[in-house]
Amino acid sequence: MFEAKSYICIHTKGNTMSEKIKQLEALYSETPDDPFVIYALAKECEQAGFLDRSKSLYVKLLREHVNYVGTYYHYGKLLEKMDNPSDAKKVYLSGLEIAKKLGDDLAYRELFAAKTELESE
């Protein structure tokens, strides 16, 4: 099981964090099981270049909130960015199953398109 730890995202240039990440980290420490907070923090960390931190948050979401369907697309894209296309494809396939189960046609189409694009590269 993923162990929730208190991480701090430290920007490598000047050792500063964005205010948004600081606020989300504080919120995360107060509500570590809130899928929206975890997702928002993962996205912010990814955008700031903290890819390992972002990855650990996406993994937590997939383990603890399987039906949080948006995670599959964004985690897959992160894995592609981290040069791990085989794991990205697995994430997309898992997401397709969840989206189909939930009847989320939009998520299904987005995941299918991401998988198809990955396979054509």
Q: Please compute the mean of the pLDDT values over residues 56-66 and round it to a whole number.
A: 97
Domains of the chain by residue range:
1-65, 67-121
The HSE-up count of residue 57 (CA atoms within 13 Å, CB side) is 31
pLDDT band, residue 2 (cuts 50/70/90): very low
pTM of the predicted model as reported, rounded to 2 decimal places: 0.83
CA 100: distance to chain centroid?
A: 20
**CA nearest to 43, candidates 85, 5, 84, 9:** 9
Is the domain covering 67-121 a CATH 3.40.1360.10 domain?
Answer: no
Q: Please compute the mean of the pLDDT values over residues 70-74 and round it to a whole number.
A: 97
Query: pLDDT value at position 121?
Result: 85
**CA nearest to 84, candidates 108, 52, 60, 49:** 52
